[in-house]
Amino acid sequence: MQEKDIANTAGGGCSQGSCGSNAEQMSHLPDAVREKVFNHPCYSEEAHHHYARMHVAVAPACNIQCHYCNRKYDCANESRPGVVSELLTPEQAEKKVLAVAANIPQMTVLGVAGPGDPLANPERTLATFRGLAEKAPDIKLCLSTNGLALPDHVDEIAALNVDHVTITINCVDPEVGAKIYPWIFWNNRRVRGVKAAQILIERQQKGLEMLVERGVLVKVNSVMIPGVNDEHLKEVSRIVKAKGAFLHNVMPLIAEPEHGTFYGVMGQRSPSQAELQALQDECAGDMNMMRHCRQCRADAVGLLGEDRGDEFTLDKIDQMEIDYAAAMAKRKAVHQAIEADRDAQRAAKARAAAGETLVPITALKRSAPKPAVAEQTRPVLMAVATAGQGVVNQHFGHAKEFLVYEASPAGVRFIGVRKADNYCEGGDTCGDGETKWDDILKALAGCEVMLCSRIGIGPWETLEQHGIRPDNEHAMEPIEDAVAAVYREMQQRGKLDDPAHSMPVSA
């Protein structure tokens, strides 16, 4: 099979429109592709519950200007704007990666994603990869780029076994591109307007084709900018899939005046949750969609959604003695334990689906005491507080984000991530901390249930007053099983009869 065909096969098996690499969705992939994605937290939605990534900020310069970027901050193609990362030399980066790998054995992927464009700084980026390919061969290498310089470096990227490349492609039409990119720096001069966008688009498409030809998995990131490229992104999705991209990650524009970006200052609005989800669903007909992106900073460390960078500052790393051979053995053992755990979760899910235990959402109609009518089978959004491992295992008060799932008779599907500041600072009296209810309620908009491992009386009552039912009965259960079980309970209690609850996602 040609490499291009291998990448394209990923598109066929994703019935729910999420990343096509969950357990059952991975089964159809060729072994070579499955090996590349099974423990990559961005390329596999399931893996992101178990495995961590880290970024090293070695690439300060950029060769284009995006209207959503302020050069003081990290590259907004892969990161939230408004955060600044600590710039490292390739040698410092190498040291940091070895330190993190030894201390966080779940870390499987090293990405270079900024703070500028990694391929506008090719010496620094490729030197980092070269050092790590030799010293830490068990770590997957990953790269994120705007694509302008990509065709010049594809051969070296492939030679260094960089298996995953993200290209940010916001348009395939130069007229649209001219509204996003005021200029590019090309062949030692600044090019502006439609011409600039045309060159950038051609280089991105050529880079995508070259990577696919060489068997490198390509993820495409797109920033959804309402009124500029939102409708157009459906065409982008179709085209990049046809060229062999593995995954499409449509991210919301984040534009605030205080970030000092062109869009922020001009009042360009961001998409709502509902708009983002609707576009992701429309693109999903043609393409595997990533819905669990956290828009990480360029020096992020840890599971997606957590940032343990403070544990690995240069001064702290200097104090660490690292025996990487011993660390690799430990990493291998930890990865085996994770895979055993994933296998057990899959087996439990298979048993449930076969009707042996609880939560067979496919059996919802079988087990419900009342005949199914339209209102009793409406979809329900549920938010989940989790700290990883794919289970409901976080206190409500500690959640900095919620994973949102939709349950319906068709099954449980992952919808996306909603960020929220945590409610309290820990301790046994969950609920005593400072309330950030505006943020939390915005994050939970449209959700009828919030599953967590624990919650205090005060926040319980507040959530109920806002029409969100807290549920801590399913602590430590696999998330999808827990969501399915709650849906079945709602159906059995007639809670799906009230169509007034079938509210759309807002915020």
* Cα dihedral sign, 433-438-440-441: positive
In angstroms, what is the minimal distance from the CB of 453 to ligand CLF?
24
Which lies closer to ligand SF4 via its Cβ, residue 170 or residue 386?
170
66 binds, among ligand CLF, ligand SF4, none (CB under 5 to 8 A by kind): ligand SF4
In the complex, minimum distance from the CB of residue 233 to ligand CLF, in angstroms, rounded to a whole number: 16
Taking CA 266 as the corner, what is the angle to CA 272 and CA 85, rounded to the nearest 5 degrees?
75
Whole-number minimum distance, CB 444 to ligand CLF, in Å? 21
Q: Contact between 118 and ligand SF4 (CB under 6 A)?
A: no
Q: Choose the one of ligand SF4, ligand CLF, none that binds residue 249, judging by a C-beta under 5 to 8 angstroms depending on kind.
A: ligand CLF
Q: Count, in order, helices (H) and strands (E) of the chain.
A: 17, 15
Question: Does 116 contact ligand SF4 by CB under 6 A?
Answer: yes
Q: In terms of DSSP bridges, do strands 411-419 and 401-408 run parallel, antiparallel, or are they unpaired?
A: antiparallel
With a CB cutoff of 8 Å and minimum separation 6, the contacts of 387 are: 393, 394, 398
Told to check if 77 binds ligand SF4 by CB under 6 A, we report yes
Which of ligand CLF, ligand SF4, none does residue 304 bind to, with CB < 5 to 8 Å depending on kind? Answer: ligand CLF
> Nearer Cβ to ligand CLF, position 109 or 468?
109
Instruction: Tell me which of ligand CLF, ligand SF4, none is bound by residue 65, counting a contact when its beta carbon lies within the kind-specific cut-off of 5 to 8 angstroms.
Output: ligand SF4
CA distances from 206 to 147, 150, 154 (A): 9, 8, 10
Q: How far is CA 26 from the centre of its chain?
A: 17
CB 172 within 8 A of CB 239: yes
Nearest alpha-carbon partner for 113 in 303, 260, 295, 261: 295
Distance of closest approach, residue 211 Cβ to ligand CLF, in angstroms: 14
Phi-psi label, residue 267: left if phi above 0, alpha if psi -120 to 50, beta otherwise: left
Question: Which residue, 172 or 420, is less far from ligand SF4 as judged by CB?
Answer: 172
- Minimum distance between the CB of residue 440 and ligand CLF, rounded to whole angstroms? 22
* Residue 154, CA distances (Å) to 118, 126, 219, 401 in order: 13, 11, 15, 36
Distance of CA 6 to the CA centre of its chain: 23
DSSP state of 270: P
- With binding defined as CB under 6 A, does residue 75 bind ligand SF4? yes
239, 215 Cβ separation under 8 angstroms:
no
Q: Pick from 26, 33, 76, 384 the residue near ligand SF4 by CB under 6 A.
A: 76
Which residues between 129 and 148 bind ligand SF4 (CB under 6 A)? 146
Shortest separation between residue 203's beta carbon and ligand CLF, angstroms: 19
**For ligand CLF, the closer CB: 36 or 294:** 294
Q: Using CB under 6 A as the criterion, which residues of the chain lie in contact with ligand CLF when the complex forms?
A: 42, 53, 55, 78, 109, 111, 113, 142, 144, 164, 166, 219, 249, 293-296, 304
Q: Which two tokens stand for residue 75?
A: 């590259």
Tell which one of 62, 165, 171, 255 touches ligand SF4 (CB under 6 A): 62
Helix crossing, 90-103 with 122-135: angle to 10°?
40
Question: Of ligand SF4, ligand CLF, none, which one does residue 111 interact with (CB within 5 to 8 Å by kind)?
Answer: ligand CLF
Which region, judged by CB under 6 A, interacts with ligand SF4, from 27-35, 62-70, 156-164, 337-345?
62-70
Rule CB under 6 A: which residues touch ligand SF4? 62, 64-66, 69, 75-77, 116-117, 146
